[in-house]
């Protein structure tokens, strides 16, 4: 039960990190595109 709770929590964190990474890549690509 505890491991299941932790797995869902890690999935949430991983998803958040993925979204942040996507946002960062998008901004980086826009910067290099404008310059």
Per-residue pLDDT tens, the chain, 35 aa: give them.
556 667 788 899 999 999 999 999 999 988 877 65
Contacts of the segment 15-21: beta carbons below 8 A, 24+ positions apart = none
Task: Specify the pTM.
Answer: 0.57
- Domain total of the chain: 1
Instruction: Categorise residue 9: left if φ over 0, alpha if ψ from -120 to 50, beta otherwise.
Output: alpha
**DSSP structural state of residue 19:** H
Token pair for residue 16? 């958040």
Return the number of other C-beta atoms located less than 10 Å from residue 4's C-beta.
8
Instruction: Please give the pLDDT value at position 12.
Output: 92
Structural domain of 15: 1-35
Instruction: Please give the pLDDT value at position 3.
Output: 61
């Amino acid at each position: 039960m505890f491991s299941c709770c932790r797995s869902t929590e890690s999935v949430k964190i991983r998803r958040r990190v993925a979204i942040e990474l996507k946002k960062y890549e998008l901004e980086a690509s826009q910067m290099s595109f404008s310059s």
